[in-house]
Amino acid sequence: MFQTLWLAALIFFPICNSADTITPIQSVRDGETLISAGEKFVLGFFSPSNSSTNRYVGIWYNKIQDQTIVWIANRENPVRNSSGVLTIKGGNLVLLNGGHNNSIIVWSANVSSSTMENNSSATLTDYGNLVLKDGQQRTLWESFDYPTNTYLPRMKFGIKKRTGMNRILTSWKSADDPAPGEFSLGLDPQGVPQYFLRMGSDRIWRGGPWNGERLIGVSVMIQYSNLFNWSYVNNDDEIYLMYSLTNTSLTIRFFLDDSGVYQRLIWNDNTSRWNLMSVATQDRCDRYGNCGAYGSCDSNRVVECECLRGFEPKTPSDWKLGGWSGGCMRQRSLDCDGKGDGFLRLANVKLPDTSRSRIEPALNLEACKEECLKNCNCTAYASANISQGDHGCLMWDGELVDLRVYSDRGQDIYTRVAASELDGSAIEYSRGLKGKKKLLVTLLTIIAGLLLFVSFGYCWWRKAKGREINGRHDTVLNDNDIEENGKGSELLLFDVSVIAAATNNFSESNLLGKGGFGPVYKGQLLNGQVIAVKRLSKTSTQGIKEFRNEVTLIAKLQHRNLVKLLGYGISGQEKILIYEYMRNKSMDSIIFDKERSAMLDWRKRFSIIVGIARGILYLHEDSRFRIIHRDLKVSNILLDDDLDPKISDFGLARIFGQHQALANTNQVVGTYGYMAPEYAMDGCFSVKSDAFSFGVILLEIISGKKNSYYCDCCSMNLIGHVWEKWKEGRALEVVDSSMINISSFESEFLRCIQIGLLCIQEKAKDRPNMSSVVLMLGNETTMLSPMQPAFCSGKENCSNHQIVCSSINEVTITKMEAR
C-alpha cells in the first residue's frame, strides 16, 4: 500500500507542480529555489552577508549578477541554520525550522485555513509577487501586500480601507540586518492622502497630494514620464498608487535604503550595476517643513527660506542664523466677518501639507474662493485636479507647512491675507473693494504713489552712485560693497561676534585645516546648525578683490556639486565666509591616507569623478556666467555625509563672457601640479585649463597618489608615471591597491585613465571640453589616443623659462621671466 501511494505521488508531482509554484507536496528547502515562469525572479533562502549564519526566505532578480533582494518573508525571525523549509500547511504558507516533522513555525502568511487546503498553492509571478491561492483560484494572500524596502512595478502601494491594511516600505536595520529599520515610507490617509517618508514617527519628506496627473512633490513623474505609466485609485475600497514600465525590457525599482534615502534605480546591463535615476530628498527644500509654517522654500535662492507675502518670521533672530523651522506668522490679522480678506497667488509650488485639508470636487476655483472665505479657518485654496483643465476645490484649514517653489513645475495656490496686504498688482479674487469706480480711484492712487517712489529712488541712487564712484579706491571692504556686487544675493550677514561664539573664539580645537587664504574652523550656531568658517588671515594673498569675488560668485551658483555659501561677516580688516559644513572634509584627507583610502571603493570614486566633472561643466556651460575656477585640486574638493563631491574655493575664479574663449593674466595664481602649461608659462587660461586640472585630479583619485611637483624638474611626477605605464600597456598597475575587486572594473579603470591623459595634453586644443568628458565618463564611446602629456621629465625641458617658486601653504604665485 505504501509503495502504491509513493508511486502515485511520484507520478503526480511532475504533472501538477512547476518550477514557479509551491504546493502541499512540493516545498522549497534551503538550497533550493523557485523561479518565475519567465525566469525574471527567484525565491529562495539567503544570508545578507557571507559571514552570517542567519537564513531568510527572499525574492531577488534572477538574471542580475549582483543579488538584489526585493522582498523578505521572515525579516524579523531568521532561521539560525540551513534546516528551513517553505511549504503549505493547513492551507497556509509557512516557513518551518527543521522540516515537516516536529518543526517550529518561524513565519506564516496568517491565512485562515482553506476548506480545500490540499489544493492551495503559492506561485511566484514575473512581477516578483508571491501569490497564495485556494483551489478555486481565489487569492488568499500575496507578498505585494506586505512589502519590505522595495516598490516594484504592478505593486499597489497604499491602503485597503475595509481591512485597514497599509502597504508600507520599511528600510533594513543595516546592510547586514534586514529587520525593520527606523525609516518607513507609506500613505497617510488623513485629510487629503499623501505619502510620507519618516524616521520613526518624524516626517522627513512628503510626496504631496495627487493632482490628477502626478504626485505634486515627486519629480521622477515628470523627469522620466516616458518610462512610467502611473495610476492612482481612490475609491470606497482602497487608495493606492501603481506604476508600470513603458519598456518592459528595462529593470527599474524604487528602493528605501537603511540610511533613509528613497532612490529610483535602473539596471545597466553594459556596466552590470544599478544606476541612480533620482532620490526623493535632492536638496534641503525636500526636507519636510524646512521653512516652518507659512514659509516657502526655493533651492534656487541663496537663502532658500522666506516668509510668504503678508507674513514675517516668528523669531527674526533665528532666521538670521539660518534657523527657519520656527516658521512665520501673519503681519496683520484676518478679518473673519468677510469685509476685507483676499488672496494672493503663488505660482509653481509644491502644495503644502494636506493633512488638514479637504476636497470639494463640484466647485470651480471661483466657487472655491467663496467657500474658503466663509470659514475663518480656511487659509488657502487650489485646484484639486489639473488634468483636462482645473476642476475641483482643495482647501486648507490651519497653517500651511512644507511649501516649496519650483522653477519649471508645480501648481498655483491662493493664500489668504488681510485686505491691507493686497495691492493693485497682487490682488487675486479679492473682496472688500466695491464698485468699479472705487477700484479705479484706488489703482490711480497706487500708480501715482509708485511713480513718486520711483522718482525719489532714482535720485537717491544717482547720489549714492556718485559717492560710490568717488570712494572706489577705499581699501576697507564693507557690507555695501557686497550688496552692490551681489545684486541682492540674499546672503546672510553674520555679526563677527556671533561667528566667534560659534567657533569657541576660533579655538584651535575647532580648526579643520589651513589653506593659502587662512584657517577654516568648525562652528555651531545657536540653532544647532553646524557650519564651516573660513577666516581670511590679514596677511592672506586673498585680498578685498578675491574676497568680493568669492562672495558674489558663489552666491549666484547653485549646483549639487558646488559647496554652498551660507553667509559672510565683515568687521574692519576681518573677512569671514560661512559655508555648509562637510563632515568628511576635503578629499585629499581620504585618498592620500593609507588607512582612510579604503573608505572609497571604485564605485564611490567613480561617482566622485563624475560629480566633479558635472560641477565643472556647470561652471563652464550651464551657470549664469561662464566661470573658470583656476584652482581646481583635490584639497578643494569637499565630501558631504554621503561622500558626494562639492567643489570649493572660488577666490581665484574668473568670469568669462558668453562667447569669450581665452584670457590672459600678468599674475599666474594657482597650485603647482594642477596648472596647465599655457597658464603656468604664458598666463593664458580657458576652460581647457580647468580640464587639465581635472585630468590631474582624476589620475590622483584612481592612483591614490599625489602629483608631486619639484622645482628642479628632475623627478618624474604622477603624470609621467601614468604615461609610461600607459605606453607599456600596464596602465592598471597605477590603480590604488587599497581598492578591492579591481579585476571587476578593468574596462572602467582604463577608460578613466585614458580620459585623464586626454585632459592633460600639452596643447589646450587637444584636450576635451568638460561636456565631452562627462559624455565619455557615462558611455563607452570611442576616444582618441592620448599623446605625450605635459610634464617635466628632466632639467633640459626647464631651460626655456626661469621659474621662481614661492609657496604660501598650497597656493603658489608664479612669475615668469623670458630668458
Q: Following DSSP, what letter does each residue of 229-297 receive, concatenated?
A: EEEEEESSSEEEEEEEESSTT--EEEEE-TTS-EEEEEEETTTTEEEEEEES--SGGGSTTTT-TTEEE
453 belongs to a structural domain = no
Same domain for 416 and 324: yes
Helix, strand, coil percentages for the chain (3-state, nearest 5): 25, 30, 45
H or E element, residue 578: strand 574-580
Same domain for 231 and 196: yes
1 belongs to a structural domain = no
Q: What is the per-residue pLDDT for 100?
A: 57
H or E element, residue 769: none
Strand-pair partners of 690: none
Taking the alpha carbons of 322, 310, 555, 405 in that order, is the dihedral positive or negative?
positive
Same domain for 93 and 76: yes
62 belongs to a structural domain = yes
Distance CA 435, CA 451 (A): 25
Same domain for 644 and 530: no
Same domain for 750 and 604: yes
pTM of the full predicted structure?
Answer: 0.57
Same domain for 503 and 393: no
Same domain for 242 and 340: no
Q: Following DSSP, what letter does each residue of 463-481 receive, concatenated?
A: HHHHHHHHTTT-SS--HHH
Distance CA 281, CA 261 (A): 7
229 belongs to a structural domain = yes
Q: What is the per-residue pLDDT for 669?
A: 59
Question: What is residue 690's three-state secondary structure?
Answer: helix
Q: Which of 20, 390, 631, 649 is catalytic?
A: 631
Note if 30 is an active site residue: no
Domain extent at residue 325: 285-421
Angle between helices 746-759 and 770-778 (to 10 degrees): 170
Same domain for 315 and 212: no
| Tally of domains in the chain | 5
Residue-wise burial string across 64-91, b where 16 or more C-beta atoms lie within 10 A, e elsewhere? beeebbbbbbbbeebbeeeebbbbbbeb
| Residue 248: exposure state from Cβ atoms within 10 A (0-12, 13-18, ≥19) | exposed
Give the start-end residues of each E strand in 484-564.
492-493, 511-515, 518-524, 530-536
445 belongs to a structural domain = no
Same domain for 698 and 773: yes
Print the SS3 string covering 71-119.
EECCCCCCECCCCEEEEEECCEEEEEECCCCCCEEEEECCCCCCCCHHH
Give me the CATH number covering residue 111: 2.90.10.10
Going by C-alpha positions, the residue among 161, 162, 170 that lies closest to residue 193 is 161
Boundary residue ending a domain (100, 124, 146): 146
Boundary residue ending a domain (421, 446, 470): 421
Q: What is the per-residue pLDDT for 9?
A: 39
Same domain for 782 and 743: yes
Conformation bin of residue 518: beta by default, left when phi > 0, alpha when psi is -120 to 50: left
CA separation, residue 51 to residues 47, 97, 266 (Å): 8, 20, 28
Give me the CATH number covering residue 567: 3.30.200.20
Q: What is the per-residue pLDDT for 494?
A: 81
811 belongs to a structural domain = yes
317 belongs to a structural domain = yes
5 belongs to a structural domain = no
Same domain for 159 and 106: no
Strand-pair partners of 139: 133
Boundary residue ending a domain (92, 111, 146): 146
Same domain for 660 and 771: yes
Print the SS3 string covering 624-662.
CCEEECCCCCHHHEEECCCCCEEECCCCCCEEECCCCCC
Tell me the mean pLDDT per 10 residues along the chain, length 819: 37 48 92 94 91 90 92 95 91 84 84 65 96 90 97 96 93 93 95 95 93 88 86 95 93 92 86 81 85 91 86 88 87 78 92 95 93 92 88 94 87 92 50 45 69 62 42 35 43 79 87 76 84 75 61 73 84 81 88 84 92 91 78 90 86 57 52 81 83 94 79 62 90 87 84 93 89 85 76 41 31 33
Q: Cα-flanking dihedrals φ and ψ of residue 45, to 5°? A: -95, 145
Contacts of 71 (CB under 8 A, 6+ apart): 58, 59, 128, 130, 143, 147, 148, 150
